[in-house]
Amino acid sequence: MSGTAEGTEQLLARRAQAQEREELARAKQHERGRQTARERIDRLLDDGSFTEVDRYRREPLGAPGTPRPEGDAVVTGHGTVDGRPVAVYAQDFTVLGGSVSLTVGQKVAKVMDVAAKAGMPIVGINDSGGARIQGGLVALTGYGEIFRRNVALSGVVPQLSLMMGPCAGGAAYSPAMTDFVLMVRQSSYMFVTGPEVIRAVTGERVDAETLGGADTHATRSGVAHLATDSEDECIEDAQALLSFLPSNYRSLAPDAPPGAAPEGHRDVGRIVPTDPQRSYDMRNVIRNIVDDEDFLEIQPEWAMTMICGFARLDGVAVGIYGNQPQVRAGVIDIDASEKAARFIRTCNAYNIPLVCFADVPGYLPGVEQEWGGIIRHGAKLIFAWTEATVPKLTINTRKAYGGAYGVMGAKQLLGDVNLAWPQAELAVMGAEGAVSVLGRRELKEAADPEAKRAELLERYRRELLTPYPAAERGYVDDVIDPAETRDKLIAALHALRPKFQDVIERKHSNIPL
C-alpha cells in the first residue's frame, strides 16, 4: 500500500471514530432536550458553509490518565449566514462538560483572530461547566486569551453570545463583554457565584434558574438582550440580529430591498392621544412607520419605560430608541438610561443610523433614584447621544419636558434632523406645574382661583407649550403632519448617508460609568 493510500485510510478511520463520538454525543444531548455543538453550528450557518478549524487540536501530554480528546471541548471555525462570512465557536458539553482548558481558550482565540483579520462577526455558543479543574491555573489562562480578545474586538466586529447551557463564575464575563447576549429559558443560566456558595456564605437559598436564568437576566438584571423558549428560536434571533449589523466597523449594514410601507403609516397620528396624561404603546407608532411593520426589539422586558430595537426604513437598517408612555408614562430612570445609552453606543460603533421617538415627562423622581445615582446614570444617555457620529433623527410625538427633552435627541446635543408633530409640547415643564409656579401670585389674589387657573393654563399652552417656539429658534427643523413621518425620515436618512463628522482627537472619552 502506498504512503498516500495508507494516510488516506488513517484519515478515514479517524473521521469514522469522530462520527461515532458525535453520534454518542447527540444521544446524550437529545436526552437533555439540547442539541450538540455541531448541530447548533449547522443550524446557525448556511447549509454546507462550515469550515472547521483545529479539529485535531488537543491538550499537551500531562499526567498519565489525563483525558486528551481530539478537538477538546469546543468546535471552532467559520461559515456564512445569509451568504455573509461569520466566525463561530460552540462549546461541547459532551466533552468533559464543555470545561475550558488552555487549549479550548487558544482554539477560541485563534478563530477570533481570524475574525479580526477578515472583519467578520463572531458568534459564540456557550455551554460549559466552567474552567477545567484538573488543568489548574493553566486552565484559567484559557479564559484570559478569550477576555483579551473580547475587549480588543469590542466595536471592531459584532460579537454575539448564545447561551445554551450553564455559564458560571468568571466564564460569565466573556458573554457580558460581547454586544448581544441571547439566552434560552429553562436551559441556560449565568452567574458569578452559584447557589451553593451563596447559601454557604449568606444563608440565602435560591435555585440556579431564579438566580441566573434567562427570565431573570431578561427582566431584572438586563444582562440578556433576548430570551427564547428554544434553541432554534435563539438561533433565529441571532440570524435576525446579524441581518441588521455590518460585518465590521468599517462597513455599513447590508441594505435590504425597500420594504412595504405599513397600511397605517398615514394614520399613525391617531395612535397618540392628544391628552398628555393618557398612555399608548409607542411600539405601535414605530411599527406603523418602519418597513413591513418589522421591529426587532432588544431587551423588551427590562427597563420597559424605554424601547430599543432594530428596523428598516426604505431598506436601510436603523436603530430605534424611544420612550414608552404605556409604562410609567415613559419616564427615564436609571435602568432606562443605561439601556438606551448602551444601545446608542452599539449602533454608533457599527455605523447604524439612529432614530429617536420622544414622548417623555421627565426623569423618575424619588430618593431611591437619587441615591442610586440617577445623575451619573442619566448622564450616560446624554454622553452616548452627543458622542454618536451616525445620522441622528428625532421625532417628538407628544411631549418632552425639562432635562429629559435634552437627552431624547435634542438638536443641541448634535441631532441632525429634529421633527415634531403639531401637538408636541416642548417646554421646561407641563402646564399644571408651570402655572402653579408662574401664576402663584395671580392665583392667590384671584376672586375665582379656578377660573384664573383655567385662563393661565390656556395661555401657557397657547404661547409656550407648542413646538413652534422651538421651531422659531431652529431647535426643531420642521413641524410635520404625522402622516408625513415615514417619508420625512426616509428622505433625511438618504440625505445623511454617509455622514462625515470630525471628532476631537483624544485617547478616549471618559463616559460616567
Concerning whether 269 is annotated as a catalytic residue, the answer is: no
Per mean pLDDT, which range of 8-17, 185-194, 458-467 is the poorest? 8-17
Burial class (CB in 10 A: 0-12, 13-18, 19+), 55: middle
256 part of a folded domain: no
Average pLDDT over residues 274-303: 95
Q: Is the confidence at residue 230, as pLDDT, over 60?
A: yes
Verify that 455 and 422 share a domain, yes or no. no
Comparison of pLDDT for 173 and 28, the residue scoring more: 173
104 part of a folded domain: yes
Catalytic residue among 119, 155, 170, 433: 170
Concerning whether 362 is annotated as a catalytic residue, the answer is: no
Confidence band (pLDDT; 50, 70, 90) for 381? very high
Verify that 234 and 158 share a domain, yes or no. yes
Burial code of 81-99, b = ≥16 C-beta within 10 A, e = fewer?
Answer: beebbbbbbbbbbbbbbbb
pLDDT digits (tens, 9 = 90+) for 65-105: 567 888 899 999 999 999 999 999 999 998 988 888 899 99
Among residues 187, 25, 3, the alpha carbon closest in space to that of 92 is found at 25
255 part of a folded domain: no
Verify that 300 and 205 share a domain, yes or no. no
Among residues 229, 175, 408, the alpha carbon closest in space to that of 307 is found at 408
Verify that 386 and 319 share a domain, yes or no. yes
Concerning whether 378 is annotated as a catalytic residue, the answer is: no
95 part of a folded domain: yes
* pLDDT score for 171: 83
Verify that 362 and 408 share a domain, yes or no. yes
CA dihedral of 56, 62, 67, 72, whole degrees rounded to 10: -30
Average pLDDT over residues 179-189: 96
Confidence band (pLDDT; 50, 70, 90) for 441? confident
Burial code of 229-250, b = ≥16 C-beta within 10 A, e = fewer?
Answer: eebeebbebbbebbbbbbbbee
250 part of a folded domain: no
* pLDDT score for 274: 83
Verify that 234 and 349 share a domain, yes or no. no
Comparison of pLDDT for 11 and 56, the residue scoring more: 56
CA dihedral of 127, 131, 134, 136, whole degrees rounded to 10: 170
Whether 99 and 132 have beta carbons less than 8 Å apart is answered as yes
Confidence band (pLDDT; 50, 70, 90) for 335? very high
CA atoms within 13 A on the CB side of 157: 24
* pLDDT score for 170: 77
Which ranges constitute the DSSP H helices of 33-101? 37-44
Domain count, the chain: 4
Comparison of pLDDT for 119 and 18, the residue scoring more: 119
What's the CATH code of the domain at 102?
Answer: 3.90.226.10
Q: Is the confidence at residue 51, as pLDDT, over 60?
A: yes
Confidence band (pLDDT; 50, 70, 90) for 244? very high
Catalytic residue among 404, 410, 470, 471: 404
Verify that 82 and 194 share a domain, yes or no. yes
423 part of a folded domain: yes
Concerning whether 454 is annotated as a catalytic residue, the answer is: no
Among residues 362, 337, 326, the alpha carbon closest in space to that of 434 is found at 362
Please identify, among 420, 441, 464, the residue that sits at the C-terminal boundary of a domain: 464
Note the pTM of the prediction, 2 decimals. 0.92
Whether 82 and 46 have beta carbons less than 8 Å apart is answered as yes
Which ranges constitute the DSSP H helices of 439-503? 440-445, 449-463, 468-472, 485-495
Confidence band (pLDDT; 50, 70, 90) for 10? confident
* 381 DSSP 8-state letter: H
Verify that 312 and 359 share a domain, yes or no. yes
Whether 103 and 57 have beta carbons less than 8 Å apart is answered as yes
Share of the chain above pLDDT 90, in %: 67
Verify that 353 and 237 share a domain, yes or no. no
Verify that 125 and 102 share a domain, yes or no. yes
186 part of a folded domain: yes
Catalytic residue among 169, 212, 415, 430: 169
Verify that 415 and 435 share a domain, yes or no. no
Range of the domain at 2: 1-31
Verify that 240 and 170 share a domain, yes or no. yes
510 part of a folded domain: no
